[in-house]
Amino acid sequence: HVERHFMAGEIVRDAVMGASDGLTVPFALAAGLSGASVPSLVVVTAGLAEVAAGAIAMGLGGYLAAKSEADHYEKERKREEEEIERSPETEAEEVAEILANFGLMQSEYEPVVAALRKRRDAWVDFMMRFELGLERPEPGRAMRSAATISLAYVVGGMIPLLPYMLLSEVFMALKVSVGVTLLALFVFGYVKGLFTGSRPFSSALQTTCIGALASAAAFLIARAV
């Protein structure tokens, strides 16, 4: 099996996530406003403001979430270490329970428990991984993730907005934006599918549909207001 923590894979995943969101919401907002006959300049203003705000919210939000995960891991690890010092019998029983859940009988798991008890670091690693399901987050990952998502969001957001910035007639810009964005959504959805291992064509359709639905909703709401 391929090593799961392949860093390039994570960067790609963050980029695709950021770009997909960047394509969808600014597109929908711009389309919705155009449909409500808002002047082109205002559409661009709203779109760019949303991209700026969204990129920061996603980027910083993602960074803080990743940092908080790292802090959480360290806190839980310290707690496990203390529990092992303070009540080794209880912790040994927890190991036994985990192994017993795999249908192992006492005679089968007892040597493992005994072995772990002799190796403190391995014992803590075991508890962290198999009891709490936590893995040590890679340092610098929070930063990288945030930067990738933010940048991808901006790039994604520019795609539906460029037509409004380049074309003076707002309904023409709307049509070009729709065409370009749906195409981009399809391509991104396909790439996403390739990376997650789900059927790329289906993923492409789904991503495109979300974009279409989001913009339809924005359109209807904008007309209603």
If we measure between CA atoms, which residue out of 210, 151, 220, 221 comes closest to residue 25?
210
Q: Which is nearer to a copy of itself, 183 or 213 (CB)?
A: 213
Angle at 134 between CA 132 and CA 137, to 5 degrees: 160
Q: Which is nearer to a copy of itself, 11 or 165 (CB)?
A: 165
- To a copy of itself, the closest distance from the beta carbon of 222 in angstroms equals 5
- To a copy of itself, the closest distance from the beta carbon of 64 in angstroms equals 5
- To a copy of itself, the closest distance from the beta carbon of 65 in angstroms equals 9
- To a copy of itself, the closest distance from the beta carbon of 176 in angstroms equals 19
- To a copy of itself, the closest distance from the beta carbon of 221 in angstroms equals 5
Helix (H) or strand (E) holding 5: none
Q: How far is CA 189 from CA 74, 138, 209, in A?
A: 36, 28, 10
- Scored b (16 or more CB within 10 A) or e, 149-177 reads bbbbbbbbbbbbbbbbeebeebeebbebb
Q: How far apart are the first and last CA of the chain?
A: 54
